[in-house]
Structure 1
């Protein structure tokens, strides 16, 4: 049964609840707590009510939904009471607040709380940074949030860590119950060895993956790496390294997990992703602070996050490639912030040394070349003259001044004469030998 009370007050809502109970013949109430749900008015409101109704079958309670409406509207309170089949094993009171009243949810909730029963506050999404400082959070013994439902789950989880107070919990932690149970059961079987390192992989924006890695780092006291899974949703794989081998719990499809460990057969276990109603029912089972969750939150800083290799930036078309890195004279890259003046001085010194050596080698070559020219010039001069005569004769023949064959005859004669003179003349041979000797002596003097 659903009863609407538009533009009402909390006292009228309370009176209507008493009237419904008297008409139904219920003298006493079997409620164990009051669950306050804080959300924005919309589709998320009905989803939260359905999850609370399912959880109320295990924990009969009064559910008060604070649905914040438009802030720019006139101040107004629209209430709705749900009992019977529309409320599960509880009674649901939906308070839709508009205008300035949207920020006064705590004032509207206090008159409707059950006496002498604990209060639990739940933010399905958009939870405050510090739930314990929120006006509704101050009324509750337990404060439940859900980092996975936030726009930035990893940032929201960091806010839970910095703003933690005893009594806080998060559904991202509740989703780890089955994983933690399976990992703990793996240590009940031999060999009983110590874990040396661990790795947890999952979606990059999965807060449950971060919490599981932090839990392992806190209690195993070993390095734990948190990496991004290639495929799969939520938590995908947990790997524990021991001396005898690896213990691995993998769930790539999000439904069935596989536990593998040395010396034991491969086991398939049910690891289906838990729904919100199941997580909420589990959190309502305890009203004391969760010390294990607190320890896991504080250990988030111990987790080593896996890094993907950075790709080189692409060079756009029509533009040059980036300038090469600076290299020192000993062919080592110069780091940013290094003393470039020292490197530049060393480079200048080496340049001066190489320049002086080049000058010595050049002077030696010049001395050797001049000596060779002094000794061989008389023998090769006729040949050069003959070579220059040949093209002249061919040009004359082309101009029609004489046959080409007749013009080539003096060139051949000149070549034969120069060859005979260089071969038979002892003076020229000795001159050539003395020229080579003088060239060697000058080269030594130059070096």
Structure 2
């Protein structure tokens, strides 16, 4: 069921939600949170599709905020709110409201969203593109217990990671971190199988991939060993190699789907390690609303060493700090 509202208000949208639930025969509300998606018109379809898929695990009221900037000065000054209310099969397992903001109302999106939040339910804000410099201080981010960004969607992903670290507030997270959850689980399980002392590590992947950088930071932070960052053609993260007292431990995924785990004294094992869809990443982030201290520690560990390192290929542990690929980007820009 779809209800279109033109030049409307938040109270009229709430009224449409109530009437729509009655019309389709589901007056009870069984949603567990409010998901606010901030995006543009170009990326709204993909973001909403991912949210609808994630709603199978987390039934929620989804509010899609699209800021429409007009080129005409006259239209730019005119405040207007258009909305599309979706219920039933058109909204996954929850409710969806697509909000299109025009004119001066763009600067007051939080005033439009606030009356539409579910009472006594947590709020999660996801910036599908163009995340603010400081999500916690953004007017919409201030409404949320959990703030989700995606450095991979930025024009300069590595610099975006630096911004995330410099403005980190408990409750912040990034989809680039969720992308490496299977890698972190597999590497931790490998170390449990062969108790040993890791002396160094090497992470191989695309040059400006924030997930590769975060994995290198995580290894350096948790193991306190030098971590070398090598560049490959991808896709994404392709290999991790850890040198240890029990021999090399290698997790290699050259095709973005099937990985091979190699350890001394054991046969090679095939591991399903496919690249995950946005809906899976979002669903993972919605499972927890508490601060992710491991993400915060890894993020700050690596960024603290970007400014004072000397070896361009290494994100180091211990007393030998060095930057990830961000310095390469800076040198290339300076050369140009």
Which residue does 1:293 correspond to in 2? 295
The whole-number CA distance in structure 2 between the counterparts of 1:216 and 1:299 is 10
Equivalent runs, 1:277-426 vs 2, <5 Å: 277-300=279-302, 301-302=304-305, 303=315, 304=322, 305=324
Q: Which shifted more, 17-26 or 197-206?
A: 17-26
Q: Which one of 212, 215, 220 corresponds to residue 215 of structure 2?
A: 212
Q: State the 4+ residue runs in structure 1 displaced beyond 4 angstroms.
A: none
Partners of 1:81 and 1:222 in 2: CA distance: 52
CA apart distance, 1:206: 0.3
Shift of 1:243: 2.7
C-alpha distance after superposition, 1:327-359 (max 9, x if no partner):
xxxxxxxxxxxxxxxxxxxxxxxxxxxxxxxxx
Which residue does the alignment assign to 2:154? 150
Other-structure match for 2:145: 141
Partner Cα separation in structure 2 for residue 24 and residue 277 of structure 1: 26
- What RMSD, in angstroms, separates the aligned Cα atoms of the two structures? 1.4
1:132 Cα deviation (Å)? 0.2
Deviation at 1:23, TM superposition (A): 2.6
Give the alignment partner of residue 97 of structure 2, picking from 89, 93, 96.
93
Q: TM-score, normalising length from structure 2?
A: 0.88
2:227 alignment counterpart: 224
Match of 1:63 in 2: 62
| Structure having the larger proportion of residues in strand | 2
Matched, 1:245 2:244: no
Confirm or deny that 1:3 pairs with 2:3: yes
Match 2:205 to one of 198, 202, 226:
202
Equivalenced residue count is 305
**Structure 2: tracts of 5 or more residues without a match:** 306-314, 316-321, 329-336
Deviation at 1:6, TM superposition (A): 1.2
Contact 2:21 2:87 in 1 (8 A): no
1:71 Cα deviation (Å)?
4.2
Residue 52 of structure 2 is matched in structure 1 by 53
Aligned equivalents of 1:48, 1:244: Cα separation in 2: 45
1:44 and 2:48 aligned = no
Q: Contact (CA 8 Å) 1:71, 1:102: kept in 2 or not? A: no
Q: C-alpha separation between the residues in 1 aligned to 2:65 and 2:193?
A: 49
Q: Which residue of 2 aligns with 1:270?
A: 272
Contact 1:71 1:100 survives alignment (8 Å): no
Q: CA deviation at 1:189?
A: 1.9
Please give the secondary structure, in 2, of the residue aligned with 1:299. Answer: helix
Structure with the larger RCO, 1 or 2 (CA within 8 Å, 6+ apart) = 2
Measure the CA separation in 1 of the matches of 2:272 and 2:244: 25
1-structure distance, mates of 2:104, 2:213: 38
Cα displacement (A) at 1:25: 3.1
Distance in 2 (CA, whole Å) between partners of 1:287 and 1:172 is: 17
Residues 6-57 of structure 1, C-alpha deviations (whole Å, 9 max, x = no match): 11111111111111122333332001000001112x2301111100000001
Matched with 1:18 is 18
Higher share in helix: 1
